[in-house]
Amino acid sequence: ELIRGKGTFEKTVKAIDLLRERNIQTTVITTVSKLNFRDLPKMKEFLFKKEVNWQLQVAMPFGNFKREQMLSKEEFYATALFIAKERIKNRFEDLPVIGAHCYGYYSEILPGCEWNGCQAGISSIGITSDGGIVGCLSMGNDRFIEGNVRDKSLREIWEGPNSFEYNRKFDETKLGPNCRNCKYGLKCRGGCNSMSYTLTGRFHNDPYCFYAIEKEKGLVKEGVLSKIFPFL
């Protein structure tokens, strides 16, 4: 309620209960930041009883969200460990827990972290509330808007020769300094472009990367995970 306002939690829980009573598959999305990441175990216990799907995604510093409230790299990695741990502990049909596209990539510790690049404008598309067309609804900057369905047809925007060129015209030279020398660069394409642009001002340069964090922090070699992430 700190973000959504007083009374929103109760309303949300009532909505979840109504959906589950009618056997409608329901997914709860939690946007994780410094404000709530230590509460994830408690959230898990609550959501487990509600029989819902659960997706975690990282809060990014645009709109009204302050940069200092964003997860550090260590906290980001800790939440990924939490996801991996819960997927091992719980059967998928009991509590499906997943990380959004901002969680990755190519970890040497965490399973299932392969990534074939940002799919915005390639296999995904988003329509904003005012009709703007973006490759992904995570992209909050106006520069990502390729057109508006009030002015052009969706097909015309999608098939435009310069639409979504940040992804459709990707090649090795587009990789940013965080990713340029990475052995996974051409496959990963620099991670999540929304994270990349928001944090570094350019595409294909996502600093929140499992593989890079593991190398930077020496996690694989030193085996220090339990010391860094005691809340798990």
The model's pLDDT over 44-57, given as tens digits with 9 standing for 90+, comes to 999 999 999 999 99
Residue 109 inside a domain? The answer is no
d(C-alpha 178, C-alpha 161), whole Å: 29
End-to-end, the C-alpha distance of the chain in Å comes to 24
Residue 150 has pLDDT above 60, yes or no: yes
The confidence score (pLDDT) of residue 201 equals 94
Residue 228 has pLDDT above 70, yes or no: no
The confidence score (pLDDT) of residue 74 equals 92
- Do residues 63 and 39 lie in contact, with contact meaning Cβ atoms separated by under 8 Å? no
Asked whether residue 70 falls in the same domain as residue 22, the answer is yes
Residue 64 inside a domain? The answer is yes
- Do residues 60 and 195 lie in contact, with contact meaning Cβ atoms separated by under 8 Å? yes
Asked whether residue 95 falls in the same domain as residue 135, the answer is no
Residue 219 inside a domain? The answer is no
How many domains does the structure of the chain reveal? 2
The confidence score (pLDDT) of residue 63 equals 80
Asked whether residue 86 falls in the same domain as residue 152, the answer is no
Token pair in block for residue 46 = 């609550």
Token pair in block for residue 222 = 């030193």
- pTM given for the model: 0.86
Which region among 11-15, 80-84, 180-184, 219-223 has the lowest average model confidence (pLDDT)?
219-223
User: Over the stretch 7-42, which tens digit does the pLDDT of each residue have?
Assistant: 999 999 999 999 999 999 999 999 999 999 999 999
Residue 113 inside a domain? The answer is no
Residue 138 inside a domain? The answer is yes
Residue 213 has pLDDT above 80, yes or no: yes
Asked whether residue 50 falls in the same domain as residue 88, the answer is yes
Domain extent, residue 144, equals 126-207
Residue 142 inside a domain? The answer is yes
Give the chain's mean pLDDT: 90
The confidence score (pLDDT) of residue 92 equals 66
Residue 115 inside a domain? The answer is no
Asked whether residue 91 falls in the same domain as residue 12, the answer is yes
Residue 112 inside a domain? The answer is no
Residue 146 has pLDDT above 80, yes or no: yes
